[in-house]
Amino acid sequence: MSIRLRWALASAGALAVLAVPGVSRADEASAPPAGQVTLDVQTVNGSGCPAGTASVAMLPDNTGFRIKYTDFRAEDGGNADPTAIRKNCQVNLLVHIPQGFTFAIARADYTGRAHLEPGATALERSNYYFQGSSNNSYADHWFGGPLDGTWRATDITAAAELVYAPCGATRSLNINTELRVDGGTSTAKSYISMRTSDGEVYTIVNFQWKQC
């Protein structure tokens, strides 16, 4: 397994370029299939997504899917529970696609809110893998205080390094996301969450399609 990450300590946004052993070339990319693509959510588990607090929906143009969270937050300091410094959520789903196509995870965009006191740090970590795959690479995004507002993070897989689902086989896809916060020396509370200011919570995962 190989991985190259662009690390960032940022006040508002970060980018990670993820590279894992690939089986494709950039010129194999195809437009999304015109036929129906559906999702079958197998499980949603983790301290960051208690029952009923996360949902998954396919994007209408078949370019990927959206995950919405309502209770995904890590915090430290103040009256925070000591166990709240790390929260995670793993989504396991089946993607049902038209015959003759397969897909890889090309990009994921994360948005949320954070309040970090001076000296505090926060981490958003994510990884994506198909059932039975030995590739289990991850991308990290670090944020440093002082910060009070919206944060954004993007994972991009290099075109030549995309890992596609096996053609003709149905394999579950796992998306594991983690939030951590370290309040540093401050006694005030710091937090990072997947909730934006208007209450809309988005993680957008984009596919790269190709024909088998």
pLDDT greater than 80 at residue 9: no
Structure confidence at residue 21 as a pLDDT band (50, 70, 90): very low
For the stretch 46-54, contacts whose Cβ atoms lie closer than 8 Å and that sit 24 or more positions apart, written own/partner, are 46/87, 46/88, 46/89, 46/90, 47/83, 47/86, 47/87, 47/88, 47/89, 48/72, 48/73, 48/74, 48/87, 48/88, 48/89, 48/177, 48/178, 48/179, 48/194, 49/89, 49/91, 54/89, 54/91
Which of 83-97, 117-131, 165-179 is the least confident region?
Answer: 165-179
Structure confidence at residue 167 as a pLDDT band (50, 70, 90): confident
The helix/strand count (H/E) of the chain reads as 0, 15
Domain that holds residue 183: 9-211
Structure confidence at residue 134 as a pLDDT band (50, 70, 90): low
pLDDT of 34 reads 84
Q: Is residue 52 part of a domain?
A: yes
Structure confidence at residue 4 as a pLDDT band (50, 70, 90): very low
Q: Which two tokens stand for residue 159?
A: 């075109």
**Three-state secondary-structure class, residue 85:** helix
pLDDT of 202 reads 73
Q: Is residue 2 part of a domain?
A: no
Number of domains within the chain: 1
- Mean residue pLDDT across the chain: 82
pLDDT greater than 60 at residue 181: yes
pLDDT of 199 reads 54
Q: Is residue 1 part of a domain?
A: no
pTM of the model: 0.81
pLDDT of 153 reads 94
pLDDT of 197 reads 56
What CATH number is given to the structural domain containing 171? 2.60.120
More confident residue, 199 or 163: 163
